[in-house]
Chains A and B, each alone.
Chain A
Amino acid sequence: MNADLADDDGVIIRVEQLHKWFGLLHVLRGVSLEVRAREVVVLIGRSGSGKSTFLRCLNFLEAPSAGRLRVAGLTADLQPGQRPPAEVVKNVRLRTGMVFQEFNLFPHMTALENVIEGLVSVKKMKKAQAVPVGETYLAKVGLLEKKDVHPIRLSGGQKQRVAIARALAMEPKVMLFDEPTSALDPELIGEVLEVMKQLAREGTTMLVVTHEMQFAREVADRVIYMEDGVILEDSPPETIFTQPADPRTRQFLDRLL
């Protein structure tokens, strides 16, 4: 194991036969996937294809119904109906950062307070120690001058950048992005994607659920197409956007591009 907390073969996320039921709805039907440290993997697919659910299973915001997960050195091997061990859940969340479609900033805290909340509450840092760390990450997303501002006074793009800083401040091994630009006005999408591109250049391991095909084309190492709870295609962007292997991928992309 190394600084990335990846396995010896470089794989940091290993999912085998992941299943998820919502009641009688079988939304993930045996998803298997490997992500190597420092890879950028983009998940695409129609709404309802299971891509967001899949992402949310990785840090147990949704409890997987069955399957084997290994995330940053932690394993949960779940028989149907079994709940993931609390210790694994806690540590996986420490080692992953998540960015949500709706930002989910804490409205009663300033931008800086949002960013240092995890450091103080979870990592038990003193506030005096956490503040400079928080300021570093706010500066990284270009919002240091907004540190004392409450989210209500920020634009959507700024909110999402603060949310990214909040996740990064915990120094996660993997960043999960769940449609990070879907709730933004078109003119605000660029600034968020720019921050994400910078993270990708720095070698951050990223899983991104998005509809931004241009971003996928430019930044992704692999693009995964999901439909009806299974992965239909897993290819480099130059392949999937020009000659997708599966006709259903082609159909999806034709409608979109």
Chain B
Amino acid sequence: MTADAASARPPDPDLNMGLTLIAAQRRANAGHALRVAVVWVALISILTLVLLQINVDPGYLLRRTDILRLIVVNGLGVTIAVSLVSVAIASVLALIGALGRLSSHPLAQGVSGFYVSVVRGTPLLIQLFLIYNGLAQIGTQLIRLGHPDIGRLLILDEISAGVMALSLNYGAYMTEIFRAGIQSISHGQWEAAQALGLTPGQTLWRVILPQAVRIIIPDIGNQFIAMQKDSALVSVIGVWEITYLATRSARTESKYIEMFLTAAAVYWLLTIVSTWAQTRLEKRMAQAYER
């Protein structure tokens, strides 16, 4: 209802009472949010005070903007790029994995079940070493045996190895998310599509997946946000992302707390922004076919 339409009518006691109650509720909510914010500010202040008691130099990074720029611009850029590419590849793997787990074919079931079990049963760090160092070892061996083309393919640069490890790892966890999403769509949708004459493939692509993806968007978002932090692991093989650059500067300058707190703050801000973006995306997707 527009303001004009409202003012043109005689006062409605029900409407006024409703508006009064809504306003009171909003005031109460705002007061509560303010008090929560005060607690946050207090916690940050206490932490700052504690840190200032020891030999932390808060002005250090402001004097060394070269290091700050390296971490915030270059490091953050690599972290975001690695996470985005990895979550995209992981989603494709997860879709294939989920279809395999839901398939009635023994080969598809076996391969996807094996993949999920092995990857979820081993540490990401070891998977990373196996892909970066282990594959390189096999590649070297193959070159020595006279298969230089295949051999060279297996010797991955740091970024490729990091992306591959993160994708494979998250793909396994996200397989379960995709599977649950597909299974959450009511059986009636399959039946209606079948009764129309759609093939199982068409039913999946045109009827089931569009609905399932919408349901699992929040979970994919959570995985993406978690991956932004797990991507710190690829610093150990030398990918120049936030953690690697912070570690390097910390060592050379002996400024550990300063560097790692900066890195932590960058991750934290990234998470906050991502969470905000995720919430907005969810709201927009919800509008697509809800009241």
By a beta-carbon cutoff of 8 Å, the part of chain A in contact with chain B is 59, 61, 90, 93-94, 96-98, 100, 102, 104-108, 117-118, 121-122, 150-153, 163, 166-167, 170
Contacts and interface: CB of A to CB of B under 8 A. Distances in A.
A153 B289 CA distance: 8
A97 B192 CA distance: 10
B196 interface: yes
Chain A interface mostly helix, strand, loop or mixed? mixed
Interface stretch (B30-38, B175-183, B203-211, B237-245): B203-211
B196 A166 contact: yes
Interface string B190-228: 011111111000100011001100100000000000000
Contacts of B194: 61, 93
A170 B289 contact: no
Given A108-B210, A108-B289, A152-B291, A100 B196 contact: no
B291 A117 contact: no
A182 B32 CA distance: 47
A100 B191 contact: yes
A154 to B, nearest CB: 11
A93 B195 contact: yes
A122 B203 CA distance: 11
Contacts of B121: none
B288 A108 contact: yes
A122 B211 contact: no
Contacts of B289: 107-108, 150-152
Chain B interface mostly helix, strand, loop or mixed? helix
25 contacts: A59-B195, A61-B194, A61-B195, A90-B197, A93-B195, A93-B197, A94-B197, A98-B195, A100-B192, A102-B186, A102-B188, A104-B186, A104-B191, A104-B192, A106-B193, A107-B289, A108-B211, A108-B214, A117-B207, A121-B196, A121-B206, A122-B197, A150-B288, A167-B195, A167-B196
Nearest to B205: A121
Nearest to B196: A118
Contact of B192 (A90, A105, A108): A105
Given A90-B197, A93-B195, A117 B188 contact: no
A100 B206 CA distance: 20
Nearest to A118: B196
Contacts of B202: 121-122
A118 B197 contact: yes
Nearest to B203: A121
A17 B273 CA distance: 65
The 6 closest A-B CB pairs, nearest first, are A104-B192, A118-B196, A150-B289, A104-B188, A98-B195, A122-B197
Given A106-B207, A108-B289, A152-B289, A100 B197 contact: no
B189 interface: yes
A106 B290 contact: no
Nearest to B209: A108
Contacts of B189: 104, 106
A71 to B, nearest CB: 13
B291 A153 contact: yes
A121 B211 contact: no
B191 A61 contact: yes
B282 to A, nearest CB: 15
B195 A121 contact: no
A97 B195 contact: yes
Contacts of B196: 93, 117-118, 121-122, 166-167, 170
Contacts of A94: 197
Given A93-B196, A100-B188, 5 more contacts: A61-B195, A98-B195, A102-B188, A122-B202, A167-B196
Contact of A122 (B192, B198, B207, B290): B198
Contacts of A108: 210-211, 214, 288-289
Nearest to A89: B194
A113 B193 CA distance: 13
A29 B55 CA distance: 87
A64 B186 CA distance: 22
A171 to B, nearest CB: 12
B192 A106 contact: yes
A190 B4 CA distance: 40
A121 B191 contact: no
Nearest to B213: A108
A166 B206 CA distance: 15
B33 to A, nearest CB: 31
Interface in B255-291: 288-291
A152 B286 CA distance: 12
Contacts of B214: 108
A7 B72 CA distance: 77
A96 B191 CA distance: 13
A151 B192 CA distance: 14
Q: Which of B192, B194, B206, B288 has the most CB of A within 10 A?
A: B192
Contacts of B193: 106
B197 to A, nearest CB: 4
A170 B192 contact: no
